[in-house]
Structure 1
């Protein structure tokens, strides 16, 4: 009678219709020693589930303190930061010293000629800018005249 019940449970199991209690009953049946001869083929299937539940890794890993590793990492990071700051300061000061040459002259005559040349160049560029502004002003005056004439011709509305 029990084998008929187990066969019905197996049929329900393979159709995916068993409850957890019924699956536990199947698992208990196939893990026992009195399994029917014609149902022996299913024993490894349900035996696997009971074996899979047990933890298999039994080797213990000793825990090591990370304090020494953290200390060495802190020291290494500090050294890298200090080297970076030192390198930046070295190259930055070198560039600053090179840019200190401001074009000073020992001879006053050379300085006077260089100043005149620079002011002349500045004056030329300012004059070009003023000419552009004059063109813009002339355009503005002409545009206003055109709009006034257009208003008069369109009836003043």
Structure 2
């Protein structure tokens, strides 16, 4: 029965769901001499934990010891009050510049009278002029399409699809 309990706790340990008391029970079990044969593969893992716990390191490795002078640590203190005042001044200058530039711009005039004609003949002439311009642009586009059609026909003759 104890073996089943250890296996359940071991599964919880590897899932990261075990408690500290259960982990202590696993360490005690794996440090004892009577570990089940199919669980002996985990014995070095828990043995390492208990071994490291007993080991105390009071010496600093020589590779980490510096022989020259220690570097003094100086922290720079920034005065937060001055920074906040400077930021406030910048914001106020931006707002002031915005309002001054808005006052200097001329207001937009509503142009509701655009495109209206009192004389019908004048309106007809303007419409014909606009339609002629549109027709010219459309004809240029149609000519371009004709070139593409000729290209397609030549390509089909060469490659014989």
TM-score (norm 1): 0.35
More helix by share: 1
TM-score (norm 2): 0.34
Answer with 1 or 2: which has the greater Rg: 1
